[in-house]
Every structure is written in structure tokens, then in C-alpha cells.
Amino acid sequence: MANHKSAEKRNRQATAQRLRNRAIKSRMKNVIRLVDEAVAAGSVEMAQEALKVAIPVIAKTGGKGTIHKKNASRKVSRLTKRVNNMQAAVAA
């Protein structure tokens, strides 16, 4: 347990930040899941709408430092690729 005032404050800050990061990460995972479900259902319109919602959420998660920026970029890229491939398959 913390013995100094500054260590106690640091502990409070770390706890608050951990909870904040967990909420942000959870939101990101939920929007990714919505895109995946839309792709699995084969609904192009739903997948595009879910992707439009997911991209800013993922970018913000990377921008805040909850996940690495390149990790966020990779997630966006892979989701976009999945939606585009599904669109091409439906069109063909």
C-alpha cells in the first residue's frame, strides 16, 4: 500500500485511468463486433454503416493511447478490407 501522499495520488490516478481505458476499449470491441456481425449476415448496408461508426471510435482509442496508433490503424484497415471483400462477393 502507498505510504506517501504522492504515491496515494498516483494510485488513485492509475485506478481512474485503468477504468477509463477499460471502458474505451470495451466500446471499441463492441463496434468491431457489430461490423463482424453485419459481415457475417451478408448485409452490405449494415456493414457499411457499422464501419462508419467503428472507424472514428477505433481512431479515438488509438489517439488516446489506450491502444497503439498503429494497432488502431491495422484494425481499421482489416475491417475495411473485410467489408470491401464482402461487397465484391455480393456484387459478383
Encode pLDDT of 35-58 as tens digits.
999 999 999 999 999 999 999 999
Of 51, 86, 57, the closest CA to residue 72 belongs to 57
The reply to whether the predicted model has a pTM over 0.75 is yes
Give the per-residue pLDDT at 55: 98
* CATH number where 44 lies: 1.20.58.110
What is the pLDDT averaged over residues 10-27? 97
Give the per-residue pLDDT at 49: 97
Domain count within the chain: 1
The answer to whether residue 1 scores a pLDDT higher than 80 is: no
For residue 44, what are the domain limits? 5-91
The answer to whether residue 92 scores a pLDDT higher than 90 is: no
